[in-house]
């Protein structure tokens, strides 16, 4: 038999978390979790606020091409660009093809030399001897430098760059010193040979900073990497490295060697948004927190993008996505069109001005400081998410109090232990996903159950009740957003190296579950109104026995189409096409008006529909009200999704959510007032029947 003290303890615990007290326990846990979330987000805001310097970097080759096309001195343009606000210039590596194009070397294959010898015998003694002794190979390449300086550079670079390959040097009476490589001309032309030193000199003379752009290549080794790092001029003044090409330098086996060299030279890694390089995420994790996010507009986009849109895009990237390096390419110019210089200088000045208007300073970008929330605070926030799950569980099933408390305790222990393992990031992502799914369900189902309860005996819709219920549901979603944001707030998420998992699931599952639960509430109310018994099995049985009508099929088709559009619109793509012109114009207007544009799904769809749905339900149109409330669920989901964008500053998230609530509330109130006016005027409001057997 169990000891009496154990029975007493069980009874005591049961009384503490019995049906009447369990809700209070979960609400208390949520309140404490919300306070912990605010503490975490306050620390994140402090880190974001301190990181307010933006660096403007121009691509050297693009600037050079611009000046060549209009016959304008590059060094003059760079000085003028500096005065307009430009801080740095990105200089890439030269290839053998580049120096051949510049006329610094002549490239000939062995086959070309032999063919020429057949037409007109080669008289140079060195080449003649090589041909006669069959030492001049048809498949090899021969490099004839223009002067001794170029030869000295190549004789130092190529043996290191092509380590393990034979590079032979010869001296010709007629052509001077030249080099032989076993590579073919096409392969040799692709070989990179270090930064363009003339470009570096031009940039530094203009008073601008250098951003090196080294590239990866097959056969890269630690020795080769170190060799080219040592050849970077002005290393002591260089703070940022942005790699060029499809791969990060050192990929796949030597990223740690590159990391060590960059850290020893106090260089930060610039990771380019929307231009994924193979190995960039892995390398960024190795470099973290010495990572700076870079935004750029591609050459192809620059051919068509409007001036104002390009300027605003950079400003938006700084204020909404924590981008601190803006990689600028100039607008292309028609041959001889000198006005292109003025346009591009104005472009730099406009980007600089717009970014400063947003509260940033222009200068050398700094990596964001390390932000790691206290583990105990994360555990408390996790308890809040777990509490919301138990509130939902209480609405679905009734468990003995001691079992419910035991499961709750196991969940806390399980979460706390896993946060200390190597899977901590995944656990936080799953916890955030759980919160993003559970909280909107709580908000919507709670609202609809109260609509059924408060509408009993009402003469018609009450605007005040509809607004209060909508605000209560929205407050629940905002609390969930705080918990999700706090769970994910750390440096790797802020740098977008780690992201919120399950975006699609978080948009679909809450609507499906909310629809099922609200339908059960409605069916329960209708059955009790009729005086018939209530059971889930009877509800499902009655549903399955309903005849399928044509309008049912059409309604399902419309719902399916709307669902498809909804899912595809969770990003910035609309059915695979660009954003519609009207939508884009509205977004631009709201950005100009509010800076942080509220999300369309919230202020134009979710919030107004939930308000109107509440008014309909209070009028007695429970099914129509339910349909609109479920559409309104989109707004609740969207708010939490906004909080899951950790790469966005928390201030931007809060303002965007607040603006969405304010604008959506105004639109919803106007629509609801119009509905109430006509419903009363036309007399189609129905009274709820006042039976007393429905319970919330």
Is residue 133's pLDDT more than 70?
yes
- CA-based diameter of the chain, in Å? 115
Tell me 244's DSSP state. B
Q: Report pLDDT digits (tens) over 418-475.
A: 998 999 999 999 999 999 999 999 999 999 988 887 655 455 567 888 999 999 999 9
pLDDT band at 621; cut points 50, 70, 90: confident
Tell me if residue 176 falls in helix, strand or coil. Answer: strand
pLDDT for position 625: 87
pLDDT for position 538: 59
- Cα 625 from chain centroid? 35
Contact 522, 626 (CB under 8 A): yes
Residue 250 tokens, joined: 């050192």
Contact 446, 476 (CB under 8 A): yes
Is residue 524's pLDDT more than 80?
no
Structural element, H or E, at residue 24: helix 19-50
Closest to 518 in 3D by CA, of 662, 626, 368:
626
pLDDT for position 123: 86
Is residue 588's pLDDT more than 90?
no
Q: Report pLDDT digits (tens) over 105-128.
A: 999 999 999 999 888 888 888 998
pLDDT for position 15: 42
- Cα 54 from chain centroid? 19
- The larger pLDDT score, comparing residue 691 to residue 135, is at 135
| Phi and psi at residue 91, to the nearest 5° | -115, 125
Contact 476, 26 (CB under 8 A): no
Distant-in-sequence, close-in-space partners of 3: CB < 8 Å, separation ≥ 6: none
pLDDT for position 536: 57
pLDDT for position 552: 53
Is residue 385's pLDDT more than 90?
yes
For helices 19-50 and 463-488, the axis angle rounded to 10 degrees is 60
CATH, domain range 52-87+208-362: 3.20.20.370
- Alpha helix ranges (H) inside 531-606: 536-545, 550-568, 581-594, 600
Virtual torsion, Cα 552, 557, 558, 561, nearest 10 deg: 160
pLDDT band at 537; cut points 50, 70, 90: low
b/e map 158-168, b = 16+ CB within 10 Å:
bbbbbeeeebe
pLDDT for position 690: 39
- Residue 304 burial (C-beta neighbours within 10 Å; 0-12, 13-18, 19+): exposed
Within 10 angstroms of residue 471's Cβ, the number of other Cβ atoms is 14
Which residues on adjacent β-strands are paired with residue 104? none
pLDDT band at 535; cut points 50, 70, 90: low
Q: Report pLDDT digits (tens) over 79-107.
A: 999 999 999 999 999 999 999 998 999 99
Q: Report pLDDT digits (tens) over 154-172.
A: 999 999 899 888 899 998 8
Closest to 367 in 3D by CA, of 323, 327, 326:
323
The mean pLDDT value for 521-548 works out to 63
pLDDT band at 585; cut points 50, 70, 90: confident
Q: Report pLDDT digits (tens) over 263-288.
A: 999 999 999 988 778 999 999 999 98
Contact 388, 442 (CB under 8 A): yes
Least confident of 338-342, 562-566, 671-675: 562-566
Task: Report the chain's terminal Cα–Cα distance, integer Å.
Answer: 40
Distance of alpha carbon 453 from alpha carbon 615, whole angstroms: 14
Mean pLDDT highest for which of 389-393, 397-401, 475-479?
Answer: 475-479
pLDDT for position 16: 38
Closest to 460 in 3D by CA, of 354, 617, 271, 270:
617
Is residue 358's pLDDT more than 70?
yes
The number of residues in the chain equals 696
The mean pLDDT value for 579-586 works out to 68
Cα 21 to Cα 17, 25, 27, 390, 405: the distances in Å are: 5, 6, 10, 13, 12
The mean pLDDT value for 542-560 works out to 62
Distance of alpha carbon 528 from alpha carbon 78, whole angstroms: 79
pLDDT for position 173: 81
Least confident of 43-52, 135-144, 163-172, 527-536: 527-536
- Domain extents in the chain: 16-47+371-389+398-682, 52-87+208-362, 98-189
Contact 332, 68 (CB under 8 A): no
Q: Report pLDDT digits (tens) over 53-65.
A: 999 999 999 999 9
Average pLDDT, the chain: 86
Residue 417 tokens, joined: 């232990």
């Amino acid at each position: 038999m169990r000891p009496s003290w154990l029975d007493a303890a069980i009874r005591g615990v049961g009384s503490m978390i019995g049906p009447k007290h369990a809700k209070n326990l979960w609400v208390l846990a949520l309140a404490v979790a919300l306070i912990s979330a605010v503490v975490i987000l306050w620390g994140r805001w402090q880190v974001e606020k301190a990181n307010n310097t933006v660096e403007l970097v121009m691509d050297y080759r693009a600037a050079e091409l611009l000046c060549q096309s209009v016959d304008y001195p590059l060094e003059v343009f760079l000085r003028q660009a500096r005065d307009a606000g430009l801080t740095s210039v990105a200089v890439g590596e030269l290839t053998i093809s580049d120096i051949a194009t510049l006329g610094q070397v002549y490239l000939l294959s062995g086959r070309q030399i032999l063919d020429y010898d057949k037409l007109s015998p080669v008289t140079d003694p060195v080449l003649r001897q090589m041909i006669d002794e069959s030492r001049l190979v048809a498949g090899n390449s021969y490099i004839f430098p223009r002067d001794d300086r170029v030869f000295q550079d190549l004789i130092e670079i190529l043996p290191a760059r092509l380590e393990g390959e034979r590079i032979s040097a010869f001296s010709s009476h007629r052509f001077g010193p030249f080099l032989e490589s076993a590579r073919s001309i096409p392969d040799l032309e692709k070989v990179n040979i270090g930064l363009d030193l003339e470009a570096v000199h031009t940039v530094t003379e203009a008073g601008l900073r250098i951003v090196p752009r080294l590239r990866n290549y097959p056969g890269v080794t630690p020795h080769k990497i170190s060799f080219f790092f040592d050849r970077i001029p002005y290393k002591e003044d260089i703070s940022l490295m942005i790699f060029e090409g499809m791969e990060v330098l050192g990929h796949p086996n030597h990223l740690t060697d590159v990391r060590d060299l960059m850290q020893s030279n106090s260089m930060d890694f610039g990771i380019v948004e929307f231009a994924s390089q193979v190995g960039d995420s892995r390398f960024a994790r190795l470099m973290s927190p010495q990572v700076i996010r870079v935004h750029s507009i591609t050459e192809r986009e620059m051919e068509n993008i409007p001036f104002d849109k390009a300027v605003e895009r950079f400003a938006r990237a700084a204020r909404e996505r924590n981008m601190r390096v803006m990689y600028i390419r100039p607008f292309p110019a028609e041959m001889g069109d000198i006005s292109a210089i003025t346009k591009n200088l104005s472009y730099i000045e406009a980007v600089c001005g717009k970014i400063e208007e947003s509260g940033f300073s222009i200068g050398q970008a700094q990596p964001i400081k390390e932000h790691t929330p206290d583990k105990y605070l994360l555990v408390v926030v996790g308890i809040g998410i777990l509490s919301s799950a138990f509130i939902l569980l209480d609405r679905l099933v009734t468990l003995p109090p001691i079992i419910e408390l035991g499961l709750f305790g196991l969940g806390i222990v399980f979460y706390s232990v896993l946060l200390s393992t190597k899977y901590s990031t995944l656990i936080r992502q799953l916890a955030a996903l759980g919160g993003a799914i559970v909280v909107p369900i709580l908000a919507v189902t709670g609202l609809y159950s109260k609509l059924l309860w408060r509408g009993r005996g009402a003469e018609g819709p009450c605007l005040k009740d509809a607004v209060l219920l909508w605000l209560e549901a929205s407050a629940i979603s905002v609390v969930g957003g705080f918990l999700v944001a706090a769970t994910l707030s750390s440096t790797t998420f802020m740098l977008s190296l780690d992201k919120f998992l399950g975006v699609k699931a978080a948009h679909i599952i809450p609507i499906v579950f909310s629809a099922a639960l609200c339908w059960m509430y409605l069916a329960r109310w209708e059955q009790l109104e009729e005086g018939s018994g209530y059971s889930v099995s009877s509800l499902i049985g009655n549903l399955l026995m309903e005849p399928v009508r044509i309008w049912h099929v059409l309604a399902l088709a419309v719902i399916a189409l709307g669902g498809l559009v909804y899912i595809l619109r969770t990003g910035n793509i609309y059915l695979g096409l660009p954003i519609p012109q009207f939508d884009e114009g509205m977004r631009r207007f709201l950005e100009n008006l509010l800076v942080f544009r509220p999300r369309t799904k919230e202020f134009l769809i979710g919030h107004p529909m939930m308000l109107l749905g509440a008014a309909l339900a209070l009028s007695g149109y429970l099914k129509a009200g339910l349909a609109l409330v479920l559409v309104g669920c989109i707004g609740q989901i969207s708010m939490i999704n906004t909080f899951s964008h950790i790469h966005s500053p928390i201030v931007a998230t809060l303002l965007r959510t607040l603006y969405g609530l304010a604008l959506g509330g105004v639109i919803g109130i106007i629509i609801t007032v119009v509905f109430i006016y006509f419903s009363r005027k036309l007399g189609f409001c129905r009274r709820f029947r006042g039976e007393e057997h429905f319970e919330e």
